[in-house]
């Protein structure tokens, strides 16, 4: 779960597809990046200088997907790719993109996981860093909430409750390792209600959405011919979104997270509020001896100030 050193990728890899909301064909090329650079996007259709770091202070919209931006440039729906970077243990990578939205692929993180597997991770010569939560903290919005507590690993407990008989209440709770993510979370697809598709399209959203890249829920049935990939695919996808959004903090998180009905906007609020309260966390890195996470992490005080949002 926890790597001692930072990782980038070894080989450049490419993917192309339609954006879920914009409906535009987009291609991405993921390339290696130096230590401490984090994940960042370059809108190469605008300029090779058009860099947008995948960090919470660059989040400009969290209503339907996670959109980052700098100046007038935007990249939306970054969350599934970000979850794949987190799960593959990639700290540093550049994503060159020639349009405003990451391709939806099949609506899950599995194609990005496969792409990163093809890219192969490359160890780098600097210790990795983790954001370790040291005090309890919660954010709420009506009946939605996220609570975060100290832990020596990453645990997620997610509850969703939709007023639709095909979803209703679903609950997923477990310690999330990279292996668990690949097996149980990565393949869970984004979903939407047939009733809402028309409204979304009127607002210029979901233009690229189809049964190839989303689970579409009708009044009485799932419209996808193959049905669901997991009986609780919906809550698993919400866990995927949460992990992708949390990686916009800039570092992998060590915490126990309890989320109730939360979505992108609340995930981003959590990260923003967390980063603006340094007493809630420590930046830790592995010490030389590796005897289990609690013995080998040590605080990195000097990095904390650099890490604060500006």
Rounded to the nearest whole angstrom, what is the least distance from the CB of residue 290 to Zn ion in the complex?
34
List binders of Zn ion among 18-37 (CB under 5 A). none
> Is 7 an active-site residue?
no
Structure-token match 């233009």, residue found? 207
Provide the 10 A C-beta neighbour count for residue 63: 11
Six token digits for residue 166: 């095909």
* Chain centre to alpha carbon of residue 165: 28
Please name every residue paired with 262 in a beta bridge, in sequence order, or none if there are none.
none
Q: Is the dihedral of CA 181, 108, 188, 133 positive or negative?
A: positive
Contact between 233 and Zn ion by CB under 5 A: the answer reads no
DSSP state of 189: P
Rounded to the nearest whole angstrom, what is the least distance from the CB of residue 81 to Zn ion in the complex?
11
Under a CB-based contact definition with an 8 Å cutoff, are residues 234 and 133 in contact?
A: no
Rounded to the nearest whole angstrom, what is the least distance from the CB of residue 309 to Zn ion in the complex?
24
State which residue, 40 or 64, has the beta carbon closest to Zn ion.
64
Region from 176-184, 225-233, 235-243, 302-310 binding Zn ion, contact rule CB under 5 A: 235-243
List binders of Zn ion among 171-200 (CB under 5 A). 190
Contact between 67 and Zn ion by CB under 5 A: the answer reads no
Of 12, 3, 250, 9, which is closest to residue 126 (Cα–Cα)?
3
Number of residues that bind Zn ion (CB under 5 A): 2
State which residue, 101 or 241, has the beta carbon closest to Zn ion.
241
Crossing angle of helices 79-88 and 110-119, in 10° steps, is 50
State which residue, 190 or 213, has the beta carbon closest to Zn ion.
190
State which residue, 76 or 190, has the beta carbon closest to Zn ion.
190
Contact between 124 and Zn ion by CB under 5 A: the answer reads no
Rounded to the nearest whole angstrom, what is the least distance from the CB of residue 83 to Zn ion in the complex?
8
Q: Is the dihedral of CA 226, 208, 85, 151 positive or negative?
A: negative
Six token digits for residue 207: 């233009």
State which residue, 123 or 197, has the beta carbon closest to Zn ion.
197
Rounded to the nearest whole angstrom, what is the least distance from the CB of residue 154 to Zn ion in the complex?
18
State which residue, 129 or 261, has the beta carbon closest to Zn ion.
261
Region from 140-148, 237-245, 258-266, 270-278 binding Zn ion, contact rule CB under 5 A: 237-245
Report the distance separating Cα 157 and Cα 147, nearest Å.
Answer: 10
The catalytic position among 7, 80, 237, 264 is 264
Contact between 241 and Zn ion by CB under 5 A: the answer reads yes
List binders of Zn ion among 206-225 (CB under 5 A). none
Report the distance separating Cα 304 and Cα 76, nearest Å.
Answer: 28
Under a CB-based contact definition with an 8 Å cutoff, are residues 283 and 129 in contact?
A: yes
Please name every residue paired with 141 in a beta bridge, in sequence order, or none if there are none.
144
Of 65, 71, 29, 68, which is closest to residue 46 (Cα–Cα)?
71
Contact between 101 and Zn ion by CB under 5 A: the answer reads no
Rounded to the nearest whole angstrom, what is the least distance from the CB of residue 20 to Zn ion in the complex?
9
Please report, as ranges, the residues that interact with Zn ion according to CB under 5 A: 190, 241
Q: Which residues are catalytic?
A: 264
């Amino acid at each position: 779960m926890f790597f001692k050193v930072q990782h980038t990728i070894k080989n450049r890899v490419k993917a192309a597809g339609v954006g879920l909301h914009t409906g535009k064909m987009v291609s991405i090329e993921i390339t290696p990046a130096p230590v401490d650079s984090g994940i960042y996007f370059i809108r190469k259709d605008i300029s090779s200088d058009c860099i947008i770091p995948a960090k919470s202070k660059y989040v400009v919209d969290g209503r339907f997907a996670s959109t980052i931006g700098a100046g007038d440039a935007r990249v939306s729906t970054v969350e599934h790719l970000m979850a794949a970077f987190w799960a593959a243990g990639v700290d540093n990578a550049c994503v060159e993109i020639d349009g405003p939205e990451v391709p939806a692929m099949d609506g899950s993180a599995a194609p990005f996981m496969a792409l990163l597997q093809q890219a192969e991770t490359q160890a780098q010569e600097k210790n990795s860093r983790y954001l370790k939560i040291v005090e309890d903290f919660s954010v709420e919005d009506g009946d939605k909430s996220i609570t975060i507590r100290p832990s020596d690993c990453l645990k997620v407990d997610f509850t969703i409750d939709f007023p639709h008989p095909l979803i209703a209440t679903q609950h997923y709770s477990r310690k999330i390792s990279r292996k668990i993510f690949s097996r149980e979370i990565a393949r869970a697809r984004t979903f939407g209600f047939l009733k809402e598709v028309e409204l979304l399209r009127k607002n210029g959203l979901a233009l690229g959405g189809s049964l190839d890249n989303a689970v579409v829920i009708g009044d009485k049935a799932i419209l996808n011919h193959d049905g669901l990939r997991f009986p609780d695919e919906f809550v698993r996808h919400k866990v995927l979104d949460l992990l992708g959004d949390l990686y916009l903090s800039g570092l992998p998180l060590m915490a126990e997270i309890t989320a109730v009905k939360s979505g992108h906007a609340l995930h981003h609020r959590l990260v923003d509020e967390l980063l603006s309260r340094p007493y809630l966390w420590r930046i830790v890195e592995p010490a030389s001896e590796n005897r289990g996470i609690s013995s080998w992490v040590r605080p990195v005080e000097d990095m904390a100030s650099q890490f604060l949002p500006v």
